[in-house]
Every structure is written in structure tokens, then in C-alpha cells.
Amino acid sequence: MNRVGIDTGGTFTDAIMSDGQGGFVVCKRPTTAQHPSSAVMETAQTLSPPANGPLEMVHGTTHATNALLTGKLGRVVFLTNQGFGDLLAIGRQHRPVLYDLKPNPQRPVQPASRVVEVQARMDASGKIIQALTQKELARVKSAVKEKKPQAIAVCLLHSFRNPKQEKQLELTLRGLGVPVTLSSTLVPEYREFERATTTWADAGLQSVVGPALHALERQLQGNWGKKTSLRIMRSDGGTADVEAAAAQPVHLALSGPVGGLSAARSLADARGDADILTLDMGGTSTDVAFLGAGELSLQPMELAGLTLLARGLPVHTVGTGGGSLASLDHAGEWVVGPDSAGAIPGPVCYGKGGQQVTVTDAHLVLGHLHPHAFLGGDFPLDVSGANQTMEKMAKKTSASTLQTAASVLEVASAGMERALRKVSLADGHDPRKLVLYAFGGAGGLHAVSMAERLGMKSVIIPPHPGAFSALGLLSAPARRTLQQSVLRPLPTVAERRNLFSPLVAQAKKELQAEGVAARSIRVQRMVELRSQGQAGEFALAEGPHLLRRFHAEHQRRFGYVRKEAEVLLVSVRVQADGPALDPWVRRRPRRHVASSFDRGALWSQGKLHKAKWVQRESMKPGAQVAGPALIAEYSGTTVILPGWTATLDAWGCLSIQ
């Protein structure tokens, strides 16, 4: 069975599959925003025509992400305790802009008219102090039915301690024929507002994500046969089948971006790199992350201004991509993004009707893109159109066309630099000691420049950078991540083992239901610890010397240790993985200088430099390219600035030093 990874981005849909000889074949097509499945089907048919037999597709979907960002969710009725009907509307006191005189905090768009308060209560230990009566259950069912929901979200106080009352409500409401999401099942954790928003988001996605995934699966099986399967990337870096993905769609909130992080961590492990920074620049946005050595860390997700307790890989996103629109504000200063030209009409140089300067146009004007090597030459770029549009903008600033294009890139780069500093320096990681892994269609255009800004000495451009997230999908394992709040002084090893047991059993059961053999499931156990009186936790692997490792991490993060304070076990987490594909093949490099296919000029440090163009596909392991130079390939272009040298290493990466 052919296995294909397909990642739907804002501008391009990327697909990749093994060529059967240790390499990969890649296909990129403009994303069809109104009907995303059209581009998915087109790329799949290009790589693996139906005549080749059944298909296994691993898909990074944007359905959940877009629905949450736009607020286009299903009609949800929200159930909570009596007196807590305004829970979603009040939220937290956090103010993103501290001195804003007219704050407009983002909250779930849940009308008060679709909130039902339930006369039931339990205390913080899970002891029931007001029982649910049959009369109250009947009243609640009638009230919910009147509101004609597409899904129901249930979030009662302290239900993570005792799910009994939520399960009573589920049993009663099941007869209404719509999905019921319980907070005690979805996210059995403390912090009631975040648990409520997560439950509400999952319920709102039920009528949006599930039908779309099932429709895509039917479409695939109609073309490739009933044996064809569809797996969906989850925010935790693993995959699930369509049934499991549709059952809890909130876990797909970061389905697309995490593929690249998963691939970057596995590649870094193969190459022997410890802590790394990642820069994934696509057409509409840039995702950055810090990835520590070893296993991938998980944390609550931030999306559309909401904190979701469903765990995901640590992605920080800024609205700067290749298609980001550039304009002058009222003060005559450049603004780049977050608005994007998207796939249609796209940048001016795409020749599809774009009228406004984008980051991609600026790169073309400055010589960073080859007009006849974009997407392997299948997508020629309109140099004249980009220059003319940039020239019009230049007249408004009294600068030259090249200086104007450079200003656009400077503003775009400043936003990405702030993002990289946020995930490194702000969390106590010195970027000068890290390696930058850059990918995405535009990642290689900015990678060396970002490294210079941060004082970094090493940049890695992986194989097929413009489809690297799709490669992460291709190699991702089936995975389940389950978490349970504990909130008690650190128990003994034996007691912790008992806390893990039901989570391990549940995770294995779910994976085995998807066909994963029990003997091939690998389980990791994590704990979240904090000192008494603190509000933040440290996630650590369960194992020996736990307290010592906690204090060492506290020292690294905050610069001091509180050994006199009691250490609390906040929660336990289990990650169960099925087998994963290892895509990295090491080849013996032979040092030589790569030959060029063209000559050009690139802008750097305020002037143009003569530069040679090299085709990456023609390079063999050991080939070197000294800057200034530009390396073109099907899925992206890499800029090598003066003073830097790129070498194609044993894993097929451009290692730039």
C-alpha cells in the first residue's frame, strides 16, 4: 500500500511519498480554499494514481484550525452548574495589552441564550453535595431540546475529580441525537475556565470537522478502493483514524504545523543535534518553536485567543508568510501581514491577478528567487509585474525599488526574530547555543538572515523543505496522549504507578482498536510538578531522581531553588505510540564544490552581491556552496549570505555554517 503525507497550507497543498529507493517524490499544488479536498485529491492522484492500488493517506488538516479562527462553529448548548452560566463570558483577568483603555478580550462566542445551568454540585474533593434528581434531569433535557443544538458541551465544577454527574447528564441527553462532549472525558484537568473553553471548542467542531473528514475518506475510497485508509495528524504529533479524529476534533487544532516539528525533532536526533529552534515559513504564516533534546514536549494550545487544555506541540505563530501583504500605514511606516494574498490571487509575481506587494515579490525583486526555477520551472514568475508594483510603492517612500523591497523584508524579518526570541530567550534558552532548523516554502529564504540576527552559527535546511511538514505526517506514528489532574503532594513511586495504570490501559485500548499490535506500542510516562504556592508546572519524564531533576529545571528556568517548599504532583500524562517510519537514510559524503546553472545577484547588507545559482537536486552528499549563493530546488529556495558555507551532509540536509 502506498503511503502519502499531505499537508494543506494557506497557499499550497504539499504531498510527499517514498520513491522506494530511500528518497521521496514531492508534489505541490495551490490550495483550493473553498474546497480543500480538491487540492488534496489532485496531489494524491499525481503521486499515486488509483491504478497503482490502495492508498494510505496521512493528512494534516486545517478544518479545525480555520473553524476556531473564524468562529464558524456548530450551534452549541453549554451546560454548567447553577450560578456559573457566565463562566465562558467572564474568563480570566489576563489582559494581552496591559494599558489598553478599551480591552476586547477574546472569549468563546457562546450566547447566554444557549447556556443551561444545572442544579447539581460537588466539592473540590469530588464529593457530591447536591445530587442530580430525575426531575432536574428531565428539566435540563427539555431546556436543551428547545435550543435545537448541533452539539452539547457539559462542564461541571470539579468533574475531573468525579465524573458521575456529567455522565448522568450524558445518559439523559443522548436521546436528543446530537454529540455530547463531557469535560471529564475530554480533559479531566483542573482550571475550570480552560476546561470549559476546551469542551466548548470540541463541541463546536463536531458538526464541522467530522462530516468533512468522513466525506474525504469516502472520496478516497471511491477512487482508490475500500482498502484505502485515511489517518489524521493530531496536535500532539501523532495520528488517529477518521473515527477517533472526528470524535474529539479539538485535538486537531494544530494538525498542520506539528508535522514539521515532529520531522525536525526526529531529524535532529538522527544527526545528533540536541536543543534546536525551528522556523517554518509558509505562504500565510510562520511557525517557530524550541524543541529540547529527546522526546517532544507538549503543552496547552493557544488558538484564537483561547487556551485549550488539549495538549499540542509548542508552536508559536506570527502572521508573516510568503504571501503576506505589505502596505504603508498612516504614519508612512511599513506593515507586513497578517493579511495574505493566499493562493488566489497570490503574490503579484504569480501572475494571477495580485495587485499588492507581498514578501515573495520582495524576494524576487532582490534576486532571491529564480523566475524559471520556481517549483522546478513549472511555475514561472512574473519579474516585470513584481518590479512595476514595487516601483509604485517606492515612489510613495522616495526610496529606490531595491531599498523598498529590502524594507519589506526587514519588517517581515523583525516579526520572525521577535517570535524566535520569545520561544528561546524568554524561556531561558540561549539561541547562540542552538541549531536553527528552517523549512516551509519560504524558510530557506530567511534562515541564514535569522541566524545572523540571533548570533547562531549553524542552520539546517532539511530535504524537501517546502514539503517538510508533509514528510512529518508521512513518518508520524499512531498516538494517544491522555492526562489526568492529581493535585497532591508528590506520591511514592508505587502510588504514581497506580495513577498511570488506567491511562496506560485506555491509551493501549484506543490504539489497538485502530489495528496497532499490542506488542508494538511504546508508552512514555510524564509528570507535571510544581512547588507549593506556584502557578506553573514543569513536565518531567517519570523515573529515578525525580526531585533532583525538578530542582535542576527550576534552577535553570528561574535561577534559584526552593528546596524547603513542598513539591506537588499536578498531573500525570501518558503518551502511547505505535510504530513510526524512520525516513532518514545516511549516505557517505564526498567533499567537492557544487556546479552552478546560472549567475545572478542577491541583496545583502544594503548592496547587491554577485551570486551563483545551484540546483539542489544535482548536489551529492559532500557538495559545498560558498556564499553569496542561492540554492534552488523544487519545493523552496535557500539564500546563502556572504560569509556562510552550505554543505550537503550525509542525511541530505543543507548544513550551513
> What pLDDT score was predicted for residue 293?
86
Residue 21 pLDDT: 75
How far apart CA 583 and CA 266 sit, in angstroms, is 9
Q: What would the CATH number be for the domain defined by 2-68+208-252? A: 3.30.420.40
CA–CA dist 425, 427 (Å, integer): 5
User: According to the model, what pLDDT value does residue 12 have?
Assistant: 86
Q: Are the C-beta atoms of 278 and 437 separated by less than 8 Å?
A: yes
Sign of CA dihedral 65, 232, 473, 538: positive
Q: What is the pLDDT of residue 637?
A: 96
Does position 98 have pLDDT exceeding 90, yes or no?
no
* Per-residue confidence band for 244, with pLDDT thresholds at 50, 70 and 90: very high
Short-list 484, 523, 116, 488, CA closest to 309? 484
Most confidently predicted of 166-180, 374-388, 553-567: 166-180
Residue 74 pLDDT exceeds 90: yes
Is residue 44 scored above 90 in pLDDT?
yes
Q: What is the pLDDT of residues 166-222, one digit of tens each?
A: 999 999 999 999 999 999 999 999 999 999 999 999 999 999 999 999 999 999 999
Instruction: For residues 372-385, give the mean pLDDT.
Output: 90
273-284 pLDDT, tens digit per residue, is 999 999 999 888
**Which triple of cell numbers denotes residue 45?**
492522484
- Say how far apart CA 155 and CA 460 lie, in whole Å: 45
Could you give the angle at the alpha carbon of 374 between the alpha carbons of 371 and 375, nearest 5°?
Answer: 160
**What value does the mean pLDDT take over residues 76-104?**
89
Residue 347, pLDDT score: 93
Neighbouring-strand partners of residue 407: none
Q: What is the pLDDT of residue 528?
A: 95
Evaluate whether 215 touches 43 at the Cβ level (below 8 Å).
no
| Residue with more model confidence, 493 or 606 | 493
Query: To 5 degrees, how large is the angle CA 276–CA 277–CA 282?
Result: 135
pLDDT tier at 144 (50, 70, 90 boundaries)?
very high
Q: What is the mean pLDDT of residues 154-176?
A: 97
pLDDT higher than 90, residue 653: yes
Amino acid letter for position 123: D
- Is pLDDT at 651 greater than 80 in this prediction? yes
- Work out the angle at residue 433's Cα, subtended by the Cα atoms of residues 430 and 436, and round it to the nearest 5 degrees: 100
Report the percent of the chain where pLDDT is more than 70.
100
Distance between CA 196 and CA 53 in Å, rounded? 45
The single residue listed with the C-alpha cell 470539579 is: 158
pLDDT for the residue 121: 97
pLDDT tens per residue across span 324-369 = 999 998 888 889 988 888 778 889 999 989 899 999 999 999 999 9
Q: Mean pLDDT for the chain?
A: 92
Q: What is the pTM for the complete model shown?
A: 0.91
Torsion 44-48-51-52 (CA) sign: negative
Determine the pLDDT at residue 390: 94
Residues 6+ apart with CB under 8 A from 373: 613, 615, 632, 637
For 611-650, how does the pLDDT look when each residue is reduced to its tens digit (9 = 90+)? 999 999 999 999 999 989 999 999 999 999 999 999 999 9
User: Is the CB of residue 466 less than 8 Å from the CB of residue 635?
Assistant: yes
DSSP character string of 330-387: TTS-EEEEEEE-TTTT--GGGTSS--S-BHHHHHHHTT-S-TTTGGGGTS---HHHHH
503: phi > 0 → left, psi -120 to 50 → alpha, else beta; which?
A: alpha
Query: Does residue 59 surpass a pLDDT of 80?
Result: yes
C-alpha distances out from residue 27 to 471, 573, 631, Å: 12, 37, 19
- The pairing of strands 55-60 and 2-8 is parallel
Q: What distance in Å separates the CA atoms of residue 435 and residue 462, rounded to the nearest whole number?
A: 12
Please report the DSSP string for 35-101 in residue order. Answer: -HHHHHHHHHHHHS-GGG--EEEEEE--HHHHHHHHT----EEEEEETT-TTHHHH-----SSTT-S
Categorize the per-residue pLDDT at 376 as very low, low, confident or very high, splitting at 50, 70 and 90: confident
Backbone region of residue 522 per phi and psi (left: phi > 0; alpha: psi in -120 to 50; beta: other values): beta
**Sheet holding 229-233: strands in order across?**
24-30, 12-18, 2-8, 55-60, 229-233, 239-241
DSSP string, 74-89: --EEEEEETT-TTHHH
CB 461 within 8 A of CB 448: no
What does the DSSP 8-state code read for residue 579? -
Q: How many residues does the chain have?
A: 657
Query: Using CA atoms, how far apart are residues 465 and 444, in angstroms rounded to an integer?
Result: 8
Domain boundaries, the chain: 2-68+208-252, 71-207, 477-577, 592-656
CATH of domain 477-577: 3.30.1490
Closest CA to 359 of 615, 625, 630, 637: 637
- For the chain, percent of residues with pLDDT exceeding 90: 72
* Same fold across 2-68+208-252 and 477-577: no
In tens, the pLDDT along 403-462 reads: 999 999 999 999 999 999 999 998 889 999 999 999 999 999 999 999 999 999 999 999
